[in-house]
């Protein structure tokens, strides 16, 4: 499961990245607190919509940015795909 957590953290930082910090090594831990919840959802077999809803709340409530449901869903779908790859031993 350590591999899935690392992948989760990387997807949030490099793909989801609502505040655009992916090019800054100094900000590498920017989304760590959100990764913990997303990882929990992945372990619970939550679907992409549930994860996207969470990312949307983080984006609008915690970070204070406008909603971007398409971007949230794209990241969530990637996370679910990675979960399945890890389970199948592909990742």
Q: How far apart are CA 36 and CA 59, in angstroms?
A: 16
Read off the pLDDT band of 75 (50, 70, 90): very high
Say what the pLDDT of residue 24 is.
94
Say what the pLDDT of residue 20 is.
96
Average pLDDT of every residue of the chain: 95
Q: How far apart are CA 83 and CA 41, in angstroms?
A: 11
Say what the pLDDT of residue 39 is.
97
Note the pLDDT tens digit of each residue in 18-61. 999 999 999 999 999 999 999 999 999 999 999 999 999 999 99
Could you tell me the CA-to-CA distances from 76 to 25, 26, 29, 42, 82 in Å, in that order? 23, 25, 19, 10, 10
Say what the pLDDT of residue 91 is.
63
For 2-87, CATH number out of 1.10.340.20, 1.10.1060.10, 1.10.1740.10, 1.10.490.10 equals 1.10.340.20
In the chain, what are the domain boundaries?
2-87
Read off the pLDDT band of 89 (50, 70, 90): confident
Return the DSSP state at 15.
I
Residue of higher predicted confidence among 89 and 46? 46
């Amino acid at each position: 499961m350590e591999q899935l957590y690392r992948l989760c953290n990387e997807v949030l930082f490099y793909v989801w990245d609502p505040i655009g910090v992916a090019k800054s090594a100094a900000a590498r831990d920017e989304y760590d607190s959100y990764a913990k919840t997303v990882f929990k959802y992945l372990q619970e077999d939550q679907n992409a919509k549930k994860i996207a809803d969470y990312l949307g709340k983080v984006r609008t409530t915690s970070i204070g940015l406008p909603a971007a449901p398409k971007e949230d869903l794209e990241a969530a779908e990637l996370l679910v795909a990675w979960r399945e790859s890890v389970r199948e031993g592909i990742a």
